[in-house]
Amino acid sequence: MHSERSKKLLIPILALAAAVLACNGPFAASTPQPAATLNALYTAAAQTLAGMSTQAVTTQFSPTATLSLPTASQIVVNTYTSVPPLTAAPVTRCDAAAFVSDVTYPDGANVTLGGTFTKIWRLKNVGTCTWTTSYALVYVSGERFGAPAAVALPTSVGPGQTVDLAVNLTAPNQSGHYRGFWKLRNASNVLFGIGPDASAHFFADINVTGYAVTGYDFIANNNFCDDASWRNDSRDLPCPGSDGDNRGFVIALDSPKLEDGKSQGKGLLTFPERSSDGFISGKYEAIRIQSGDRFQALIGCEYKANDCDVIFRLQYQVGSGGIRTLGQWREVYEGQFYPINIDLSTLSGEKVKFIFTVFANGSSHEDHALWINPRITRQSSSPATPTPTRTRTPTATTTATSTSTATPTDTLTSTATFTPTNTPTDTPTFTPTTETP
C-alpha cells in the first residue's frame, strides 16, 4: 500500500526534475520553453506538494490525538507595583535655628531719633545639640544700634524648644530706614543662623523718625562776637572787624556769594593776617553737646576771590584740656565749595569750646574764606521752629532802634543787617582796643 503511494508520488517529481534539466541542463534546447508550459508544470508540482502536506497533517493530528495544555497552576503572570520616588534624608545639624516671630518691634517699626528700644526675637532650636548659656546672640553687620558685640543666652535651649532672645538697642540720631543683622554663636565660637543650611541672618529693622533742628548757630544773634574771641598770630582782633584790615578780620554777611556765584545762606567771612602763612582764629565759649549733635557748615572762597588759597581748621577744647582737631581742609578758588558734617556723639555731655581757624597757604592775597551756616544740628521729635528765632531778630532791631538812634550809621557799617542790638554796645568797646596798639 505504501509502496504504491510512493511510486505515484515519485513519478510527478521525476517528471518535474526532467523538465527542469531539459530547460537548464547541458542538453537544453537553444530556444527557451514557452511560459505557458512552465506555468503548467509549476501548477502540477504545487498541487502534488499540497496533497502531500494535507496527507501528512491528517496522519499526524488524527481525531483521536490529545493536546496536552498546562494547568492553571503552571501559568505564571508577571505583576508590577509602583515604587515611590527616592527622597533625600533630612539633613541633621548640631546647631541650627528657625525664626518663629518678632516679639517686639516687627520689621519697619517706628522709633524716635536716638530712642532706646528692646528688640526680642523668638527662635526655635531645630538642631540636634542643646544651646547652653555658653552660646550667644552676636551682632554681625549692618546698623549696630549701639548694641554690645554679643549677648549670652539667658538659659539652655534643647532641640525642639523655643527661646526669646532680647537685646537693648539705641536708634540713630538721623531719620531713615535702618537694619542690623545678627546670628547665634556656639561654645566653640562658630556662628550659625536660620534657614535650610543654618547660614541666614535674622535682623532688627526699624524706621527712625524725627527732625533736625539747630542746637547752636555760630553766627546768629551776634554769637560770633559775643561768644567768641578772635586773634591773629600776635594780638586780639576786634569783632566785627573791618574789611581790608591787614591784621585780619571777621565779619558776618547775610547772603554772601560762594565761588559758583550763588548764595547758600548766612556766612562768616574770615580773612587771615596779611602776611606769609598768616592766620585768624576764633575760640567760642563752651557749648554743652548732646547725643546726636553734629557740626555742619559749607566752606569755600568768596566769589571773585581768584587768588584765594587757604586752609580751614576746626578744633575743640574740653575744659582746660588739650586742643584737639576735628578736621582740616584746604580750599582754593576753583568754582566749588564743600560741606562739613561731623558727628559729635563722642562729646555728648561735655562742655566744648569750638575753635575756627583759617590759615593763608602762602600769601594771604584775596584769602576771603567763608564759613556758610556754621551750626550744631540737634535731633528732635518735634519739627524745627525757625519762625520764633527769626521773629526775635526783628524784635531786637526794633529795640536797638528805640534804645539808640545816634548810631544807625555804625550799625549799618558793621554788619549791614546782622546783630544791630549789640552793635551800639560792642562798637565802642572794640574801637579803643583797636586804637590802643
C-alpha pair distances (Å), 55 with each of 5, 22, 48, 150: 11, 30, 11, 106
What whole-number distance in Å separates Cα of residue 240 and Cα of residue 199?
Answer: 63
**DSSP labels for 15-75?**
HHHHHHHHHHSTT--SSPPPHHHHHHHHHHHHHHHHHHHHHHHHHHS-TT-------GGG-
Nearest residue to 197 (alpha-carbon basis) of 93, 284, 119 = 93
Q: What is the pLDDT of residue 21?
A: 46
The mean predicted confidence, pLDDT, of the chain is 78
Query: In angstroms, what CA-CA distances link 86 with 93, 94, 238, 415?
Result: 22, 25, 91, 88
| Per-residue pLDDT, 381 | 72
**pLDDT of 77 above 90:** no
Per-residue model confidence (pLDDT) at position 13? 54
Q: Which residues of 348-363 are buried (b: 16+ CB within 10 A; e: fewer)?
A: eebebbbbbbbbbbee
Q: What is the mean pLDDT of residues 356-376?
A: 94
Query: How big is the CA angle at 218 (ends 277 and 359), to the nearest 5 degrees?
Result: 5
Helix/strand/coil for 80: coil
Give residue 83's pLDDT band: very low, low, confident or very high (50, 70, 90): low
- For residues 299 and 328, what is the distance between their CA atoms, to the nearest angstrom? 11
Query: Which of 79-83, 97-101, 260-264 is most confident?
Result: 97-101
* Residue 78 banded pLDDT, cuts 50, 70, 90: low
Q: Where are the domains of the chain?
A: 2-48, 97-209, 214-399
Above 70 in pLDDT, residue 356? Answer: yes
Q: Is the dihedral of CA 140, 142, 147, 148 positive or negative?
A: positive
What is the tens place of the pLDDT at every residue in 43-68?
554 555 445 444 444 444 444 444 45
User: For domain 214-399, which CATH number applies: 3.40.50.80, 2.60.120.200, 3.40.50.1820, 3.90.320.10?
Assistant: 2.60.120.200
Per residue in 240-268, pLDDT tens?
Answer: 999 999 999 999 999 999 999 999 999 99
Q: How is residue 228 annotated by DSSP?
A: E
Long-range contacts of 104-112 (CB under 8 A, 24+ apart): 104/166, 105/204, 105/206, 107/205, 108/205, 108/206, 108/207, 109/205, 109/206, 109/207, 110/206, 110/207, 110/208, 110/209, 111/171, 111/206, 111/207, 111/208, 111/209, 112/171, 112/208, 112/209, 112/210, 112/381
What pLDDT, on the 0 to 100 scale, is given for residue 378? 87
Cβ–Cβ under 8 Å, residues 187 and 153: no
Contact between residue 118 and residue 168 where contact means Cβ atoms under 8 Å apart: yes
Q: Does domain 97-209 have CATH number 2.60.40.10?
A: yes
Which tens digits make up the pLDDT trace of 169-221?
988 878 899 999 999 999 999 999 999 999 999 999 999 988 888 999 999 99
Say if residues 280 and 356 touch (Cβ distance below 8 Å): no
Q: Are 203 and 181 in contact (CB under 8 A)?
A: yes
The SS3 of residue 342 is strand
What is the Cα–Cα distance from 78 to 278, expressed in whole angstroms?
A: 108
